[in-house]
Structure 1
Amino acid sequence: MRPRVGRLVTATTSAAAAAGVSSALGRLSRTRPGGSRWQRTNHAGASVTLVEGPIATAAAVAGLLVAAVADRQPDARRTTAAVLAITGAGAVGCYDDLFGTTQAKGFGGHLRALRRGVITSGMIKIAGIGAAALAAAMVDRPQTGSPAARGIDVLVNTALTAGTANLINLFDLRPGRAAKVLVTAALLTPGAAPIAGAAAGVLPADLAGRSMLGDCGANALGAGLGIAAGRLPRPLRLLALSGVVGLTLASEKVSFTRVIENNRMLAALDQLGRPLPATTPSDDPAGDGPTGTGDDD
């Protein structure tokens, strides 16, 4: 089998496995949606479950393991790094979902709270995602080049993984929005097929407003996307990191929802697949969701 065909087969198989796992677990969760701690009120005032996050995280890991088995020359370092990043980001995201508070909003808000000596749950999550991203970057660090170049690559990959995990969370404010972004970006990123599959598997329930990714799912799949992007050539990685940083900084001042609603094409894509039009007010300038499960961190 030619290498290109082999990679295509591996990507397709891993994406299908991840989609199948997330879809199956999603159907199971309808009968067991979790206790009250897992329930949130979304932008439309409806009750949704956050179990989609752990489901998406488990599905992404399953897809990665299938990819490792299907690949004729599996890369153990790459798989280990991806699992570290996804599970680490998912774990601290789950902590923030279940036990987090809303005393600070946005990255800047958490930093201001820290300067006052207040350690917010969001800051704990940020530190945890950063640690998981660094551990993953160290495991999958380049094996060639000068020590300085390898060190720079580790720092760039750490920032890219952590930044992407946070950025995806900023889109989790309307049904299906974050999952659509994940599927689109993952399909364009080599090695991210399991992320695309995991997001696609939970997309129907997310669009229907029955569940949401929350911090757990958005951070986990975002970290997985960032890890995959970490294998791109350095110029592309730096370009991707610039985009992630730029959008994150913009989110502190501009509402993504307002931008989307004011653009006809973006609004149509955002609404695609939802049963009813969204008629709620736009988010505040910092883009903070009313439930604290969107871009509050």
Structure 2
Amino acid sequence: MSIALIAVLAILSGAVAEGIVLYFLLSMLRESGAVRKNYLGHDIPVGAGIGFPVSVILVFIVYMLFSRYDSSFSTYLIGIIAISFLGFIDDMLGQRDTLGFKGHFGALFQGKLTTGGFKALGGGVVAFFMAFSLVTPGSLGHNLGNIIVNTLIIALFTNTLNLLDLRPGRALKGYLFFLLLIGLMAAGKVNWLLIAPLLGAVLVYLPVDLKARAMMGDAGSNVLGLTLGYCSAIHLPWPYRIGVLIFLIAMHIYTEKFSLTRTIERVPWLRAIDQLGRSNENG
């Protein structure tokens, strides 16, 4: 069986897994009181993205059954589970009076650890772990630059999708766009079996997000961003990775000073893409 066919089946499996997980998860979140007002003031379940790692694990179990599981997938699994957990803590316990890297690290320097600060620090550790795992044993000195660049790409990409997740469907569209871009920069030479399960889960969850039936929260956006960062680290050559890192740094500097939502609303074609698929009631 060809890799392309297996990848398609993995996308379908990820979609089925996410559909099942989401059916039970949304009810659980509502009944447990895990709801928050969205930007329109509607109370909807938050943290629904915690289902993404579960869906991926279910598909990876199928890989194991058919001897298609690669040991390198374990690093990715650890990463998405850890980063989703950190995001879920912030979704459930986070206060919205402290925002942005400057706010969270400013609070940390004053001796106060916010949930956002904990997520940022933990995310940095996860990013370093994943970047370090890519180094061949005994070659640390020769790969120090790669470790630093890959750590920054994974960490900053994780937060970039968090920055996008302010309107229904925005972060998911961003994920699909950046994933396509990474695939093009890698000339299609990507590990589709790694990417496919989450892609299937995203395609099923997207209508739920667009209709504002739930918020995936940091538990979901962190998984999307970390996946993009890890794919960049393992698939892109050095010049492209440097370009990606420069873009991510510029994005963070810009969003510390200006509102990304206002920027999107001022640019007609960005606004049209942003609103694509939403109902009139959801902006």
Q: How does 1:34-53 map to 2 (within 5 A)?
A: 34-53=30-49
- In the TM superposition, what whole-angstrom CA distance separates every residue of 1:215-246 from its partner, at most 9, and x where no partner exists? 11111221122111111212222211221121
From 213, 225, 228, give the equivalent of 1:225. 228
The alpha carbon displacement at 1:26 in A equals: 2.0
Q: Structure 1 84/224 Cα, relative in aligned 2: closer, same or farther at 3 Å? A: same
Instruction: Give the C-alpha shift of residue 43 in structure 1.
Output: 0.4
Quick one: distance in 2 between partners of 1:61 and 1:152? 31
Secondary structure of the 1:76 match is: coil
Describe how 1:187-198 pairs up with structure 2 within 5 A.
187-188=180-181, 189=183, 190-191=190-191, 192-198=195-201
- 1:259-270 equivalences in 2 (<5 Å): 259-270=263-274
Alpha-carbon contact 2:44-2:215 (below 8 Å) kept: yes
2:71 to 61, 72, 76: 76
Q: Aligned in 2, Cα 1:98/1:88: closer, same or farther, shift over 3 Å?
A: same
Of 20, 42, 49 in structure 2, the residue corresponding to residue 24 of structure 1 is 20
**Aligned equivalents of 1:85, 1:234: Cα separation in 2:** 22
The verdict on how the C-alpha distance between 1:208 and 1:96 changes in structure 2, with shifts beyond 3 A counting, is same
Structure 2 segments unaligned to the other structure (5+ residues): 184-189
Does residue 206 (structure 1) correspond to residue 202 (structure 2)? The answer is no
Rate the CA distance shift 1:106–1:51 in 2: closer, same or farther, 3 A.
Answer: closer
3-state SS, counterpart of residue 36 of structure 2:
strand
Q: RMSD between aligned alpha carbons?
A: 2.3
1:87 aligns with: 81
Percent of aligned positions with the same letter in both sequences?
A: 31
Could you tell me which of 9, 13, 18 is aligned with 1:13?
9
Q: Given the two structures, how large is their TM-score scaled by the length of structure 2? A: 0.87
Measured against aligned partners, the alpha-carbon deviations of 1:103-140 in whole angstroms (never above 9, x if no partner) come to 42100111211222221111111111111111222223
CA gap 1:247/1:202 in 2 versus in 1, 3 angstroms: same
Q: In the superposition, relative to structure 1, how do residues 233 and 34 fare at CA in structure 2: closer, same or farther (>3 Å)?
A: same
Residue type at the aligned position of 1:247: M
For structure 1, which runs of at least 5 residues remain unmatched after alignment? 280-297
Distance 2:145 2:25 in 1: 43
Q: Counterpart in 2 of 1:246? A: 250
The answer to whether the 8 A contact 2:47-2:218 is kept is no
Contact 1:90 1:216 in 2 (8 A): yes
**Letter of the 2:142 counterpart:** A
Q: TM-score, normalised by structure 1?
A: 0.83
1:97 maps to a residue whose letter is D
- Alignment size in residue pairs: 272
Distance 1:240 1:54, change over 3 A: same
Distance verdict in 2 for CA 1:161–1:112, change over 3 Å: same
C-alpha distance in structure 2 between counterparts of 1:266 and 1:69, whole Å: 43
1:115 aligns with 2:109: yes
**Distance change (3 Å), C-alpha of 1:64 and 1:235:** farther
Q: Between Structure 1 and Structure 2, which shows a larger proportion of helix residues?
A: 2
Identify the residue that residue 256 of structure 1 maps to in structure 2: 260
Runs of 4+ in 1 over 6 A off after TM superposition: 68-71
**Cα contact 1:183–1:200 (8 A) shared by 2:** no
